[in-house]
Amino acid sequence: MPKFAANLTLLFNEVPFLERFEQAARAGFTAVEYLFPYDYEPARLATLLKDHGLIQVLHNMPPGDWDAGERGIAILPDRVDEFKAGVDRTIEYASALGCPQVNCLAGLTPADIDNDRLYATLVSNLQYAAPLLKQHNIKLLVEAINYHDIPGFYLNTSAQAEALINDVGSDNLFFQYDIYHMQIMEGNLANTIKRLLPLIPHMQLADNPGRHEPGTGEINYPWVFEYLDTLGYDGYIGCEYRPLGTTTEGLGWLPS
């Protein structure tokens, strides 16, 4: 059965963020992920992980001004210096937390910049970041997100992510496969996962529609989990969903 990580940005919202580590451990999770660690001192987060017997399996690189609506800066030609500074900050946190991989959010597509320039900036930024992260044993991931949840997000499909990885040409760039986003954008989950499995060290889940826990929508998650076992997938699956009720009440879907 796949290994599951609690996404502390979306789960256990009944308590403040720093208390969610304990809640995740009590619920039986041994691994966590969340969007960003940067509002907290890395030593504080590392202590919480250690105290509750948890490992950190993923967080994102700095995304720009998230509260103002930015969803990554990696495609923006006028933010390259900020992106590079974010690589250093990512290494600081991921190293302190023992986090083996980080996700780079590409960003929202601006209307006033030519796509070729945006793509060239993205490729160049990833070519800069991937080897630096590799020096610290940190994998760099990119993610495709459906354009209904985040209109204008630059990467929307697995084909785009695969082409980007090929164009960057690094052995340290991978694909974070989000089952929920890819079900919305393209379906054909089983065949796509099988074909791209060598590029997928981490996955995320939620059901569709609603982005709630497995069993609330159309995706046959028990079948998906068994299928991943047959493929030999050994990465984590981040539980990045919005619980319909309290988090604990909605954990009945977790395989025993």
For the annotated catalytic residues, the residue numbers are: 143, 240
Distance CA(75)–CA(72), nearest Å, equals 8
Angstrom distances, CA of residue 97 to CA of 13, 19, 39: 22, 17, 14
